[in-house]
Amino acid sequence: MVAAQADTIDKRDASRLFRNRLAGLLFRSGLNRSQFAAAVGLDRSALSQLLSGETARLPRAETLIRIAATQSVSLDWLLGLSQDEGVSAEIRPALELEEAQDSRNDAALVQWHQEAAGTKIRYVPATIPDFLRTEAVIAFETRDSKPPVAVQIDDARERLAYSRKPENDTEVCMPLQTLQALAEGSGAWTDLDAPLRHAQIEQIAALTDDLYPGLRLFLFDARRTFSAPYTVFGPMRAAVYMGDMYLVLNAKDAVDALTRHFDQLIRAAVVRPHEAGSFIGDLTRS
């Protein structure tokens, strides 16, 4: 009887510690419950049940591992067995190199976007954002790459469809010179016919307005501000694009640092989201 009672108390203590630390992670993330639940792979009702204290039962092992991995904490800390919050190497290394199958069509990218569903995506593209490209520009840019152009067109359509969902929250920062070169037909765009370039400009302008505010496009002056291409996938990870591979950052401090860098790009922007559509549209008329 005494042993059974002690076991019940232990379970309740473990559940309480887990609940308190889960609530702390939710608060620290800055997300609402729906967004946080999506980030850790739960539905909102399941998260609410875990936070309510209605049961002393802990979630399944795979759920605990997923929460620990996405929030960059150790399992021991999450369960109240340790005061050390650091992530163990078994959950996720702080730094990874991921081979890029293609700069836009990549299984890892798809997975990272799915895992970050419901959180903010911060994106500095290497060129035109993939989901804003016309089919002609996709064919032009990927004519010598794999997978086939048709596959990449389908991929761009899927990402555009996702960008139209109510839960989409994407910020894009890019140099205005990229779009100016496209409009002028200079640099990488020298061999692309003017009608195709202008159609691409018009599509970017239209989609920038159409997808706002779920998509917010900021343009900075590359003569004053520099950034390598990278994406921050919510609070979970960041990936720096290096041509044929990604430098994947999983440690919270590194993700936070790139998030702050992105915020600096936003502050340096000379074209803000509410004016981006008209600014881009004017490029073909100047």
Residue-wise pLDDT for 97-153, tens only, equals 777 655 444 667 777 877 787 789 999 999 999 899 999 999 998 876 666 788 778
- Cα–chain-centroid distance for residue 47? 22
Pick the CATH number of 95-282 from 3.30.70, 3.40.50, 2.160.20, 3.30.870: 3.30.870
Q: Which of 64, 123, 119 is nearest to 235 (CA)?
A: 119
Confidence at residue 6, expressed as pLDDT on a 0 to 100 scale: 35
Q: Does residue 147 have a cis peptide bond before it, meaning omega lies within 30 degrees of 0? A: yes
| Residues forming CATH 1.10.260.40 domain(s) in the chain | 2-78
**Residue 10 predicted with pLDDT over 70:** no
pLDDT score at 184? 95
- Please report the pLDDT score of residue 92 as a whole number: 54
Q: How many Å apart are CA 152 and CA 104, to the nearest integer?
A: 8
Fold of 2-78: 434 Repressor (Amino-terminal Domain) (1.10.260)
Residues in the chain, how many?
286
**Torsion of the alpha carbons at 23, 94, 110 and 198, rounded to the nearest 10:** 110
Give Cα separations from 25 to 172, 242, 283, 286 (angstroms): 26, 31, 45, 50
What average pLDDT does the segment 203-208 reach? Answer: 97
pLDDT, averaged across the chain: 84
Does the pTM of the predicted model rise above 0.75? no
Pick from 197, 78, 97: which is nearest to 140 by CA? Answer: 197
Percent of the chain residues past pLDDT 70, beyond the cut: 85
Reply yes or no on whether the pLDDT at 195 is more than 80: yes
Q: Which residue has the higher pLDDT, 28 or 202?
A: 202
**pLDDT of 229:** 95
Q: What pLDDT sits at residue 158?
A: 84
Task: Give 64-93 pLDDT, tens digit per residue.
Answer: 888 888 888 887 788 777 666 665 434 456
Task: Compute the average pLDDT of residues 148-170.
Answer: 85
pLDDT above 50 for 7: no
Using the predicted structure, report yes or no on whether residue 29 has a pLDDT greater than 60: yes
Tell me what pLDDT residue 52 has: 84
Residue 112: the pLDDT is: 82
How big is the CA angle at 225 (ends 120 and 286), to the nearest 5 degrees? 95
CA separation for the pair 278, 283 (Å, rounded): 9
Segment 207-234 mean pLDDT: 96
Whether 196 has a pLDDT exceeding 70, the answer reads yes
Instruction: List every span in the chain annotated with CATH 3.30.870.
Output: 95-282
- The percentage of residues in the chain with a pLDDT greater than 90, rounded to a whole number, is 40
| Token reading at 19 | 């609940």
